[in-house]
Structure 1
């Protein structure tokens, strides 16, 4: 199955109004990254065990680990969770930066080192979310 089909199926499987909001966010990220690589991670490890929620990824970045090994991964992620939606902004080394920069301006959202979680788009300032996503787009490569 093609990645675009997996993404469409994942979004379509969400209950309303989450389905509509996931579609809105998908289009928003694609507008910010029109020619980006798309990813779909089903949340399972190589043994088929569920280890996370499925998620959609946008863009490409290289993670360099302490041992020198590298891995390609997405820059921006989008996932449904049990209470709402999560946006992942990868590549930010300072774990306080997102909360300090966007936390109070976002509205009713939980902001951690790289994740913005909210119940519904009505609870947040979409322009601030877009600003946070743009920041993540600008940061392509990190070291760990």
Structure 2
């Protein structure tokens, strides 16, 4: 199954409101990053053990670790969780940036170093979320 089909299947597994919000976010990310690589991670490790929620990724970056190893990964991620949705904005070096620059204007969302978590899209200012995503893309090199 190709990545786009995996993403659509993942979105379809959720209840009405979350499914609608995930589809809207997917379309938003595709509009912001139209030529970028799509990812789908099922949340399982190489042994088939569930280690995270499934997530959709957009873009491309190389993460360099302190031990000298590197890994290809996405720039922006979207994932459903038990209470709502998480948007991951990776590649921002200062872990206070998201909260300081966007936290107060997002609405009902919690913001950590690289994650914006909210219950439903209706609870946040989507225009501010777009700005946060664009900020993250620029900070991670803007590559697709």
| Post-superposition CA distance 1:29-48 (Å, at most 9, x none) | 10000011000000011111
Q: CA deviation at 1:140?
A: 2.7
TM-score (norm 2): 0.95
Q: CA deviation at 1:94?
A: 1.0
- Mapping 1:55-94, distance limit 5 Å: 55-94=55-94
| Post-superposition CA distance 1:33-65 (Å, at most 9, x none) | 001100000001111111110000000001111
- Mapping 1:13-28, distance limit 5 Å: 13-28=13-28
> SS of the counterpart of 2:71?
strand
Matched, 1:34 2:70: no
TM-score (norm 1): 0.95
| Structure 1 segments unaligned to the other structure (5+ residues) | none
Find runs of 4+ consecutive structure 1 residues off by over 2 angstroms.
none
Separation of aligned partners in 2, 1:14 and 1:135: 29
- C-alpha root-mean-square deviation of aligned residues, in Å? 0.8
What number of residue pairs does the alignment pair up?
141
| Structure 2 segments unaligned to the other structure (5+ residues) | none
| Equivalent in the alignment of 2:99 | 99
> SS of the counterpart of 1:105?
helix
